[in-house]
């Protein structure tokens, strides 16, 4: 594996009582690349995600995030919102978690909370309406507008997010995560429930995020057409263990991977093979 990693997971272990969900998992995600985490259902992918994004505290191992300026942050020591705030790791959720009663624009404004909070002098300066806060808010609206344009939802900026179609909600959630200006974007099954055309659009969006903005992406995905098309590096998990890793081509031909998918779900194995041909 070449290049310098942005995220290094080392011997990560997560136990829930007697159940070991993730065992001694080590992998790295490269800077400005798309790394995919795949595996059959119940392999422990989302658990790894929750450890990286601070929703779980790992039972063992370390997770290191290296920023562009060389600062290294131990994610397993930060908790909850600090991972998003200080380590600049943004995430989306398997079951979409937008703010349904707020407009698309408001959703993206909430994502810029910390920057705006600073600009509003912890609310006090904002309350009396200092000009510096107003310019900061204008900038935030501009950033939100840009992202609405990118995910093709600009004309629905003032509609409630809860009214959006499923595919639009997925894209809006990605836009919201990107509005936090993250160093690492973690996507939990972004293509779940999308049709073929929407999946293709999603691939395009993720590639543009990587190529144009240079944001590193870590994603969990079941849709092999998306994974094989956009991933630079794939890590395969099964039963909490890493069973393979490499480029899409290497992983596709790995007999262990095929066995893992065949052993659990024939359709998924067939999907892996098919997208390889």
Q: Which residues bind other proteins (CB under 8 A)?
A: 53-55, 80-85, 90-91, 93, 97-103, 105-106, 109-114, 116-117, 120, 123, 126-127, 129, 137, 141, 145, 154, 157-160, 162-163, 176-177, 180
Nearest CB to other proteins, comparing residues 172 and 260? 172
- Of 172 and 224, which CB lies nearer to other proteins in the complex structure? 172
Look-up of token digits 């944001």: 215
As measured in angstroms, the least distance from the Cβ of 277 to other proteins is 38
Counting other chains too, the contacts that 67-74 makes at CB distance below 8 Å and 24 or more residues apart are 67/183, 68/31, 68/183
CA distances in angstroms from 140 to 124, 133, 173, 183, 191, listed in the order given: 19, 10, 17, 18, 28
Closer to other proteins by CB, 112 or 216: give it: 112
Nearer to other proteins, 114 or 264 (CB): 114
Residues 260, 240: Cα–Cα separation, whole Å? 12
Nearest to 147 by CA among 185, 119, 200, 118: 185
Distance CA 176, CA 68 (A): 22
Of 54 and 240, the one with the shorter C-beta distance to other proteins is 54
At closest approach, how far in Å is the CB of 240 from other proteins?
Answer: 23
Nearest approach, Cβ of residue 216 and other proteins (Å): 17
Residue closer to other proteins (CB basis): 117 or 213: 117
Q: Which residues contact 153 (CB under 8 A, 6 or more apart)?
A: 104, 164, 168, 171, 172, 175
Cβ 188 to other proteins shortest distance, Å: 10
Nearest approach, Cβ of 173 to other proteins (angstroms)? 9
Q: Are residues 47 and 22 in contact, defined by beta-carbon separation less than 8 angstroms?
A: yes
Q: Please report how close the Cβ of residue 99 comes to other proteins at its closest, in angstroms.
A: 4
């Amino acid at each position: 594996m070449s290049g310098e990693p942005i995220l290094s997971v080392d011997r990560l272990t997560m136990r829930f009582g007697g159940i070991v969900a993730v065992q001694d998992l080590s992998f790295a995600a490269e800077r400005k690349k798309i790394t995919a985490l795949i595996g059959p259902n119940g392999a422990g992918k989302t658990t790894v995600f929750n450890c990286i994004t601070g929703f779980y505290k790992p039972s063992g191992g370390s997770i290191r995030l290296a920023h562009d300026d060389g600062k290294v942050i131990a994610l397993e020591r930060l908790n909850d919102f600090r991972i998003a705030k200080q380590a600049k790791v943004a995430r989306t959720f398997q079951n979409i978690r937008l703010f349904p009663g707020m407009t698309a624009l408001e959703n993206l404004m909430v994502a810029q909370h910390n920057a705006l909070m600073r600009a509003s002098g912890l609310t006090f300066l904002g309350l009396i309406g200092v000009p510096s806060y107003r310019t900061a808010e204008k900038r935030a609206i501009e950033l939100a507008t840009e992202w609405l344009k990118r995910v093709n939802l600009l004309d629905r900026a003032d509609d409630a997010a809860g009214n959006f179609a499923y595919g639009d909600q997925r894209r809006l959630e990605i836009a919201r995560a990107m509005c936090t200006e993250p160093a690492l974007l973690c996507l939990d099954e972004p293509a779940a429930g999308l049709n073929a055309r929407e999946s293709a659009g999603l691939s395009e969006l993720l590639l543009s995020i990587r190529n144009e903005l240079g944001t590193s992406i870590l994603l969990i995905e079941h849709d092999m057409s998306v994974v094989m098309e956009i991933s630079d590096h794939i890590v395969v998990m099964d039963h909490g263990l890493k069973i393979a890793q490499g480029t899409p081509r290497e992983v596709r031909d790995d007999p262990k991977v095929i066995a893992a998918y065949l052993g659990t779900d024939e359709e998924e194995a067939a999907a892996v093979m098919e997208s390889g041909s």
